Amino acid sequence: MALLYRDLSGAAQAAYSNAATAIRSLEARRDAGMLPGNFVTKTVKGEPYWYFQYSDLSGKQRQVYVGRDDAATRHLRDAHVNSPNRDGLDHAKRLARAAIDLGCPALTPAHSRVIAKLADASFFRVGGVLVGTHAYAAYQNHFGIRWGTADSTTDLDFAHDQRLSTAIASDARADVASAIDALSMGFVPLKSLSTYQKADEPDFQIDFLTTMGGSGEEAVHNESLNLRLQPLRFMEFSLEDPFQSVVLGTAGPIVVNLPRPEKYGLHKLLVAAERTTEYRDKVRKDLIQAASLIEYLTVNDPDALRAAADNLRSRGSGWTRRLKEGLRMLRATELAASLDVSIVADN
């Protein structure tokens, strides 16, 4: 019997599936109709001009200048008004709300706004990945479960594999820094410029991570993202072959990329083994997440878990040593009482 998770109701699982299918279908044919707002005109010195009007994250009405009243701006307005995606987006939002009402885990409003803004800025379309505790939480709806231990965080962690830079089309861009500024939520970059902190909520941080490269642990600038990212050890394992999924926010579903759960779980063992004693609370959190994923995958996808463990060990003695240490730490907790780690262990 699973102790670290429980199944969501069949109705909740079906509702999430419906919301995810709806928004992914819309994402595949994204157009101007998905912009939240409407076009309005203003007359200045007798000349009509078009503006796009929308509500910002605080609910205030904002207007962005589009251009003079000419054929090009009227075409853009018509594309927005007549797009079949407008009704589809409203439908997807209703489906997301229904899924949340039936018990599907959802993002907090503030976190939902940030993730949605990065999605609109094409961060995920150019290979960005949602990582950290929000990825762990997102696996719940993906699996149709709820984790047994509540695991909340005020941080948002995102990552992008710097090795992807050479594979992304030269015209693919996601201006992440501008997207964060446009949130108007008071985020300011810290010294490394890879972390943004909310000025009036110091615990609310947005971190941008990447794989280790020639620069070592020094933050690196990614031109296609207009962003600096902080390299972390072992991140390449977690970011290898991410998959598309959907997270639920109060304002609607959002298409994101997530690490493979089997790799995320094993990565947490590596991270726990690397942390020093002053990070006891974070180690505990790492081990809970690893244990929960190992328990679920041992029952539901043992082949994927076994393959991920073999992949990790194939990377060398340093990787294997840290995996063994992470498993030793896990076995020393009460989490191991009902946990079978034989698939992960090198027997």
pLDDT tens track for 269-297: 999 999 977 788 899 999 999 999 999 99
Mean pLDDT to the nearest integer, 163-183: 59
Contact 12, 105 (CB under 8 A): no
Query: Is the model's pLDDT at 58 over the cut of 60?
Result: no
- Note whether 314 and 190 are same-domain residues: no
Contact 327, 290 (CB under 8 A): no
Least confident window among 115-129, 152-166, 248-262: 152-166
Which of 218, 253, 288 terminates a domain? The answer is: 253
Confidence band (pLDDT; 50, 70, 90) for 73? confident
58 vs 161: CA distance, rounded Å: 33
Which of 82, 97, 117 terminates a domain? The answer is: 82
CATH code of the domain containing 61: 2.40.10
Confidence band (pLDDT; 50, 70, 90) for 166? very low
Q: What is the pLDDT of residue 153?
A: 78
Q: Residue 129's beta-bridge partner residues?
A: 159
Q: Which residue has the higher pLDDT, 195 or 19?
A: 19
- Note whether 132 and 232 are same-domain residues: yes
Which of 222, 253, 284 terminates a domain? The answer is: 253
- Note whether 318 and 216 are same-domain residues: no
6 within some domain? no
- Note whether 183 and 311 are same-domain residues: no
- Note whether 69 and 163 are same-domain residues: no
266 within some domain? yes
161 within some domain? yes
> Of 333, 331, 334, 332, whose CA–CA distance to 342 is shortest?
331
14 within some domain? no
13 within some domain? no
- Note whether 221 and 246 are same-domain residues: yes
Contact 7, 1 (CB under 8 A): no
233 vs 270: CA distance, rounded Å: 9
Query: Is the model's pLDDT at 169 over the cut of 50?
Result: no
- Note whether 218 and 304 are same-domain residues: no
Phi-psi region of 242 (alpha: psi -120 to 50; beta: other; left: phi over 0): beta
- Note whether 133 and 249 are same-domain residues: yes
Contact 234, 270 (CB under 8 A): yes
Query: Is the model's pLDDT at 53 over the cut of 60?
Result: yes
Q: What is the pLDDT of residue 46?
A: 81
Phi, psi of 247 (to 5 degrees): -105, 150
Residue 313: give the domain boundaries.
260-347
10 within some domain? no
Contact 66, 50 (CB under 8 A): yes
Q: How is residue 262 written in tokens?
A: 């089997």
- Note whether 187 and 305 are same-domain residues: no
Q: Which residue has the higher pLDDT, 82 or 332?
A: 332
- Note whether 41 and 175 are same-domain residues: no
> Of 48, 52, 46, 229, whose CA–CA distance to 127 is shortest?
229
Q: Which residue has the higher pLDDT, 240 or 187?
A: 240
Number of domains in the chain: 3
- Note whether 183 and 229 are same-domain residues: yes
Confidence band (pLDDT; 50, 70, 90) for 186? low
159 within some domain? yes
- Note whether 193 and 245 are same-domain residues: yes
For helices 302-313 and 280-300, what crossing angle results, to 10°?
130
Contact 45, 22 (CB under 8 A): no
Q: How is residue 92 written in tokens?
A: 């997807």
240 within some domain? yes
Q: If residue 43 lies in a helix (H) or strand (E), which one and from where to where?
A: strand 38-44
Beta strand residue intervals within 160-307, DSSP E = 187-189, 195-198, 201-211, 220-222, 227-232, 243-249, 252-258
Q: What is the pLDDT of residue 347?
A: 60
Tell me if the pTM is above 0.75: yes
